[in-house]
Structures are given as C-alpha cells and as structure tokens.
C-alpha cells in the first residue's frame, strides 16, 4: 500500500490533469525508496510521463515566489534550497500546493553528507572522506552567510528557525534529484520525474529525458521522460543516471555505488614545486600545454593513464643534465620530447615518486583489500557496504597505478631516451644500433 503522502501527491497531479488513470507509470514503494512502476507493458523509448514547466522548481520559480525579491543574486542552488526549506517549514495552515511535493521527499539519503562520524570512520583514509568533509564545510559557510544576509533579516518570510541540518537536507535533495545537462536548465527539480531510480545495467543515457515544446500552438515547455528499455507491467521503470560519475561521485551525490570496475577512480595531485629552481620555465611549459602548477589526474581502474600525465611527470622531475630542454629554444618542441622518456634518471625518478606516493596513500587506510573483499557479500548495512566498496576501489586503483610504474621501472633499460632518439634522427645510429662514424673528407 502506498504511503498517504504519495497518494495525496498523485491525486494532486490527477486534479491538475498532469497524470490520469491511463498513465503508463505510477509512484510505488520499491527497494530504493519510492520509484516509478509500470502500470502496463511499456515499449522501449516510450514516454512515461510529461511534466509542464508550471510544476518545475528552478531559480525562476523562486524568483516568481514570495521570497523572489530577497533571493535575488543568490547562487541558483541556494535560492532553490531556501525555497524548499521554506515550503517544508511553513505552518500547516499556510497552504501552498508545493506541500504535496515536499511531503514525498525523503528526509535523507545514504549520501556520505548524511553519515554519522562513526559511519565516516569506515572511509578513513579515502579521498571520498576528504571530499565529503570539504563539501560539508562549503555548505556550512554558505549557510552561515545566507542565514545572516537573508534568513534572519527577513523574519516575516522566514518566521521559523532554519538550521544547518535543514540546509544540508536541501543540498542533499538537490544533489540527488535535480536534473542537469538540460537545454537552458542547469538546476531544476521535476516532481514525479524525480522518482525515477538508477539501474547499473542500463548503459545508455540517450533520450531518457528532454525538454520540448508543449505542442504546436503552445510556447510552454514540458519535461518528458522515456524508458530506455522495455518494461513489463508491475516492474520498475529505471534509467542510467550518469555514465561518467565515479563511485565516489555516486556515493556523494546519491548514496549508492556500482560494482562496475571502471567506476573506481583515484585523483592524483601532481605539482611543480615553488622551490624548484626551474619553476618559471616549467610553469610556462606546463601552461602552454594545458596543464597547471597544480594538476589533477583522474585515474580509472583498468584504464590507461591520462595522456598528459607522463609528460607532466617528466617535466616536474626534469633537472640535472636534462635541464637544457627547458631552454627557450626548445619551447615549441619540449612537450613532444616529454611525451617520450627523456633520460634514464628522469624516468627512474618519476617511477620512484609515483610509487612512493601510492605506497604512502595505501598505508593510510585502515583495512587491506583482502579484508574488504572478505566483508563484501556479507550481510552489511547499506552505508558500510558503500564504505567497503569505496575504500577497496580506491586501493585497487592505487595498486593499479603502482603496478604501471613498477613495470616501467623494470623496463628502464629498454627505453629509448632523448639522446639516442636525437642521434637516430640525425642518422647517426644504424639499424643495428651501432653508431655510424663518417669519414671526414
């Protein structure tokens, strides 16, 4: 049986003629919370619902609302967050139709932003933990600002106490339900459509949703949602949320992860040190080639390294007898040289640097991959399961990176380095690798 709020919500949409008894899908209770369940067999790419613009919640909705004036100039997500909070905290007798929607929103998800300290301990040492803490810090600062500048000075519009918990709730709602990548709509909540859950086994994002004109004679827009695969009556309609999000992003945004290997990533931060004697030249070269003094590289399990990573590493490590490559006469060609091993010393340094960074990162986790693997498949709490997946995933990527550089380290004697390439290019090295001396006439 459906919760009362959901039935009220559906009735509201029926009364508004947005849905009807012949709609192909209806809200239902499913393992992921609420979801959309097929009322009949639905074919691939069939539209399952259409939501007119009037029911969307985006910064324009807020501008046109009672708090529009005081929200002018706020970041889009903050104005929508204030709108949601206000609709949620309004007195019962102060009726607003949005109440129908607000009442079906979850109080929280399993996103790491909602985890307790104890739960966060399970991801100690992970990049996800530091991202989660930075995100919360960011939201906290934004909250303190908007509290001082908008909420407290406008007691009439906000006649209730707004806490940081309310603000984090609204942030979590937006992160997990707002549709992005839509024509002209960077941040929009679409009631009903946002009940759709994610399926890891759907690997196409195409055409699941779009904004289109409401009809030939109408300037209104509607949001239309399709099912990417055929669905049998009684089954849940699902879509792929985002093929490009890593498990860390999925955990932070939605509170779930996938077991697909290439969802596991680790971000390496490399930088040209301020104290490097060649800092200025190196920075100039880095910047002319689309990299920065501090550069992030996202490494994905089982995938090759990002193309600019090795050249950048070689640049960072460049010194000693290789430093001549930094001279300005080489400026146009130096990156090409860096694409290939420069010298044995340089190549050895980058292997050592990366490997020791991996080892040190690996030592900061509380568990080993083997321990995590044993836990997997057991009867785990959902959040612990996410934690185990995240921490073992990060460690697997670190081992993957370490493995790549371990192999390179063993091949150091087999590479061709700058000096040899140069001799070859000058025609001074023969096929067999011996230096050909020419006889001066």
- By CB under 6 A, name the binding residues for ligand SAM: 32-35, 106, 109, 176-177, 194-195, 197-198, 254-256
Nearer to ligand SAM, 99 or 406 (CB): 99
Q: Which two tokens stand for residue 344?
A: 């044995």
Residue by residue, DSSP assigns 367-379 as S-HHHHHHHTTS-
Q: What is the closest distance, in whole angstroms, from the C-beta atom of residue 111 to ligand SAM in the complex?
A: 7
Is-contact 82 150, C-beta < 8 A?
yes
For the CA atoms of 413, 419, 425, 430, the dihedral, rounded to the nearest 10 degrees, stands at -50
Q: What is the closest distance, in whole angstroms, from the C-beta atom of residue 11 to ligand SAM in the complex?
A: 18
Nearer to ligand SAM, 106 or 153 (CB): 106
48 phi and psi angles, rounded to 5 deg: -105, -20
Nearer to ligand SAM, 49 or 151 (CB): 49
Catalytic one among 101, 209, 241, 254? Answer: 241
Is-contact 257 112, C-beta < 8 A?
no
Other beta carbons less than 10 A from residue 174's beta carbon:
20
Q: Shortest Cβ contact with ligand SAM: which residue? A: 33
Q: What is the closest distance, in whole angstroms, from the C-beta atom of residue 228 to ligand SAM in the complex?
A: 14
Residue by residue, DSSP assigns 66-90 as TTHHHHTTS-HHHHHHHHHHHHHHS
Nearer to ligand SAM, 158 or 256 (CB): 256
Place of tokens 């023969």: 430
State how far the Cα of 33 lies from the Cα of 83, in Å rounded to an integer: 24
Q: What is the closest distance, in whole angstroms, from the C-beta atom of residue 261 to ligand SAM in the complex?
A: 17
Q: What is the closest distance, in whole angstroms, from the C-beta atom of residue 81 to ligand SAM in the complex?
A: 16
Nearer to ligand SAM, 18 or 189 (CB): 189
Let me know if 101 is a catalytic residue.
no
How far lies 357's CA from each of 31, 45, 269, 345, 352, in Å? 40, 47, 10, 18, 8
Nearer to ligand SAM, 272 or 387 (CB): 387
* Beta partners for residue 297, in sequence order: 268
Place of tokens 């960074």: 357
Q: Which two tokens stand for residue 377?
A: 């498949």
Other beta carbons less than 10 A from residue 399's beta carbon:
15
Q: What is the closest distance, in whole angstroms, from the C-beta atom of residue 200 to ligand SAM in the complex?
A: 7
State how far the Cα of 175 lies from the Cα of 194, in Å rounded to an integer: 12
State how far the Cα of 222 lies from the Cα of 183, in Å rounded to an integer: 12
Nearer to ligand SAM, 13 or 146 (CB): 13
Q: What is the closest distance, in whole angstroms, from the C-beta atom of residue 173 to ligand SAM in the complex?
A: 9
DSSP β-ladder status, 236-239 and 197-198: parallel
Nearer to ligand SAM, 34 or 67 (CB): 34
Q: What is the closest distance, in whole angstroms, from the C-beta atom of residue 34 to ligand SAM in the complex?
A: 4
* Helix or strand run (H / E) with residue 296: strand 294-300
State how far the Cα of 268 lies from the Cα of 323, in Å rounded to an integer: 25
**Residue 187 class from Cβ within 10 Å (0-12 exposed, 13-18 middle, 19+ buried)?**
middle
State how far the Cα of 425 lies from the Cα of 340, in Å rounded to an integer: 14
Give the active site residues: 241
């Amino acid at each position: 049986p459906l919760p009362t709020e959901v039935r009220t919500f559906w009735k509201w949409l029926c009364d508004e003629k947005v849905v009807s008894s012949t709609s192909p899908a209806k809200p239902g209770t499913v393992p992921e919370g609420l979801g959309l369940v097929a009322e009949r067999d639905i074919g691939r790419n069939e539209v399952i619902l259409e939501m007119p613009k009037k029911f969307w919640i985006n910064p324009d909705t807020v501008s046109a609302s009672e708090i529009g004036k005081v929200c002018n100039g706020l970041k889009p997500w903050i104005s929508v967050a204030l709108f949601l909070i206000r609709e949620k905290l309004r007195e019962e007798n102060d009726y607003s139709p949005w109440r129908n929607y607000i009442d079906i929103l979850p109080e929280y998800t399993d996103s790491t932003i909602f985890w307790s300290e104890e739960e966060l301990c399970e991801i100690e040492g992970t990049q996800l933990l530091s991202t989660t803490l930075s995100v919360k810090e960011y939201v906290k600062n934004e909250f303190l600002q908007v509290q001082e500048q908008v909420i407290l000075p406008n007691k009439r519009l906000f006649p209730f106490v707004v806490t940081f918990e309310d603000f984090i709730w609204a942030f979590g709602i937006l992160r997990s339900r707002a549709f992005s990548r839509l024509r002209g709509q960077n941040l929009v909540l679409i009631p009903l459509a946002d009940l759709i859950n994610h399926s890891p086994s759907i690997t196409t994002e195409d055409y699941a949703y779009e904004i289109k004109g409401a009809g030939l004679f109408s300037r209104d827009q509607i949001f239309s949602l399709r099912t990417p695969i055929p669905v049998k009556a009684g089954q849940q309609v699902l879509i792929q949320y985002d093929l490009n999000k890593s498990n860390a992003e999925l955990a932070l945004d939605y509170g779930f992860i996938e077991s697909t290997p290439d969802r596991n990533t680790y971000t390496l931060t490399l930088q040209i040190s301020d104290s490097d004697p060649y800092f200025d030249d190196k920075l100039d070269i880095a910047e002319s080639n689309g990299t920065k003094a501090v550069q992030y590289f996202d490494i994905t399990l089982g995938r090759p390294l990002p193309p600019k990573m090795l050249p950048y590493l070689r640049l960072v490590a460049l010194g000693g007898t290789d430093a001549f490559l930094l001279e300005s006469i080489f400026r146009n060609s130096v990156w090409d040289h860096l694409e290939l091993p420069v010298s044995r010393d340089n190549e050895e340094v980058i292997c050592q640097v990366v490997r020791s960074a991996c080892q040190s990162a690996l030592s900061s986790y509380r568990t080993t991959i083997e321990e995590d693997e044993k836990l997997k498949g057991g009867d785990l709490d959902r959040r612990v399961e996410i934690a185990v997946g995240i921490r073992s995933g990060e460690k697997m990527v670190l081992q993957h990176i370490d493995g790549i550089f371990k192999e390179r380290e063993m091949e150091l004697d087999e590479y061709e380095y700058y000096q040899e390439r140069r001799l070859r290019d000058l025609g001074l090295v023969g096929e067999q690798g011996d230096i050909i001396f020419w006889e001066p006439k």
